Amino acid sequence: MFDLDKLKTYKEGNRLEVKRALGRNGQGELPRSVWETVSAFANTAGGVIVLGVTEHKDDGNFIVHGIPKADKVLDDFWNAALSEDKLSARFMKDADASVETVDGKDVVVIRVPWVDRHIRPVFIDNSIFGGTFRRTHTGDHQCKREEVLSMLRDSDTSSQDSKVIDRARMEDLDYGTVGRYRNVFRAEHGGSEWNSYDDEAFLRALGAAGTGEDGQTHPTGAGLLMFGKDRWITDEFPHYFLDYRQEAGAAERWADRFTSQPGDWSGNVYDFYFRVYNKLKAALKVPFALDSDMRRIDDTPAHKALREAIANCLTNANYYERRGIVCVWGDDAITIENPGDFRLPIEEARKPGASDPRNETMLKIFSFVNIGERAGSGMGTIENGWTAGGYPAPTYEVVYGPDRTKLTLPLVTIGESTAKMQSKTIESAESSNETTESARKVREKCAKSARKCAKVREKYASLLSSSEITVAELIEAESIATTTRIVEVTGLSRRGVQKIVGSLIEQGIVLRVGSGRKSRYKIAED
């Protein structure tokens, strides 16, 4: 939550931008670049623009200059915002822009809301391909043509996968996959009349097939993705690609890998779900437990969370986007990435009942065989199930251009990783004939840091990106840290660290101590 009273503790980030807003004559003037930032915030996750403030070029601290005749600058903003030739849509309310006071100086604060996908893309100057922007940590970037087209597809009120693909044939489907699906469906719905249908009628009932413009039956987008053969799926979705890698403990590039392309299996989404889950479940801890019949219980809340995470990725992917779906089992985490961003703000998507799947028909087909949540509780199932399984909370990260969503399911906490790295210091100290007492003190510090880090991750993991979590945990482990120290430990660029720390300060999670080159950072107390 943005607090104007704490303005000087913030830094520019993906939800905060400051601008001088002074003309050559020293009078207040609405910057032309403000409209690029309005478009960028509206098309990303919303944000705040403060006019009358600049960022110090050396340390990134804010300098409040104020704006003479700020009311006129505010009027200029509204006159342009409400005109037909500046913004492509009217989505701002009167309360979203106002004149406010900081250090006795007037500034203009513009709170840009996140805009519903049905209104996107928000563009400026009547130029959809030249005037559409998105926001990243590095500032506003002009969207490429494919990004704009992706937003236009998402603005459609119909599900992206429901249309009939006229050029696809029913024989493009893998009927071995269809048969496996029907066996599970029959076990779940033994009394359904659909079980008596032939394959074509059954697929039509599912929404996997429909009548094309030629009056013949063809697969829908969902049917082709779920049950098709990779060779024919890529005719409609040229960038379609499914990739699984196991990198855990691998001395070589990867220990295990399969993709949708070789032709030795169907390569479709339904078969991929089972293949990748059966691989990834081996990464999970299974505590010894028995049911009432004294049988071993091998299914934990984390297993359910993992199944939901895979299904969520597959049903929310934008299969027209580049780079495909990638699932990786690494030493410290499972990561699941899909093309396409969230269609709701992450904060909204976490609320019970909130749901806006990109591929609603695929979600329905999965749900018929008890895979995936249809009640809008998928994120809760993932986050609650993973932590109930004894792991740190999952984190989401969204990047743009091309749009991509990454879910990280931690297997080892950053605190534990820090302790491992610090243990090397212990070994080095002991091999250098330093005293056992010194080594003992280092061990105690390691253990204390690990506990502190775990608390930070548990508290903030659902709110922050993985890079923000890493920096926040390091600051807590160090008690108070400098930018140089964070760069040294994380390996991030200095500019990248400044942006991340600025975002953490903006969210009230980190506090700045001192100013300029003497700035230090610590976790804010509750």
Strand pairing category for 510-513 and 520-523: antiparallel
User: Of the segments 336-340, 352-356, 518-522, which one has the largest average pLDDT value?
Assistant: 336-340
Strand pairing category for 97-102 and 105-112: antiparallel
195, 500, 521, 525 from 456: Cα distances, Å: 51, 16, 15, 11
Contact 318, 150 (CB under 8 A): yes
pLDDT of residue 88 exceeding 90: yes
Fold match flag (170-410 vs 414-523): no
User: pLDDT digits over 28-37, tens only?
Assistant: 899 999 999 9
Res. 435 pLDDT band, cuts 50 70 90: very low
**E strand residue ranges, 66-196:** 97-102, 105-112, 133-136, 139-142
pLDDT of residue 432 exceeding 60: no
* Lowest-pLDDT range of 106-115, 333-342, 365-374: 365-374
pLDDT of residue 440: 45
Homologous superfamily, domain 4-143: Schlafen, AAA domain (3.30.950.30)
pLDDT of residue 182 exceeding 60: yes
Res. 294 pLDDT band, cuts 50 70 90: low
Helix, strand, coil distribution of the chain in percent, nearest 5: 40, 20, 40
Res. 199 pLDDT band, cuts 50 70 90: very high
Three-state DSSP class for 354? Answer: coil
Of 34 and 471, the one with more pLDDT? 34
Res. 55 pLDDT band, cuts 50 70 90: confident
pLDDT of residue 1: 64
pLDDT of residue 511 exceeding 80: yes
Of 277 and 118, the one with more pLDDT? 277
Three-state DSSP class for 448? Answer: helix
Q: What are the residue boundaries of the structural domains of the chain, listed by start?
A: 4-143, 170-410, 414-523
Question: What distance lies between CA 273 and its chain's CA centroid?
Answer: 20
Q: Does domain 170-410 have CATH number 3.30.565.60?
A: yes
* Lowest-pLDDT range of 305-319, 396-410, 512-526: 512-526
Mean pLDDT of the chain: 83
pLDDT of residue 349 exceeding 70: no
CA-closest candidate to residue 63, choices 55, 72, 71: 55
Question: What distance lies between CA 150 and its chain's CA centroid?
Answer: 17
pLDDT of residue 285: 80
Three-state DSSP class for 123? Answer: strand
Domain 414-523, CATH: 1.10.10.10
Element (H, E) at 55: strand 53-55
pLDDT of residue 14: 82
Question: What distance lies between CA 14 and its chain's CA centroid?
Answer: 13
User: pLDDT digits over 213-269, tens only?
Assistant: 999 999 999 999 999 999 999 999 999 999 999 986 655 556 789 999 888 999 999
CA-closest candidate to residue 60, choices 474, 507, 505, 523: 505
User: pLDDT digits over 475-510, tens only?
Assistant: 888 888 888 888 877 777 788 888 888 888 877 788
pLDDT of residue 203: 97
pLDDT average, residue stretch 152-175: 87
Res. 431 pLDDT band, cuts 50 70 90: very low
Res. 468 pLDDT band, cuts 50 70 90: confident
The count of residues in the chain is 526
Of 249 and 474, the one with more pLDDT? 474
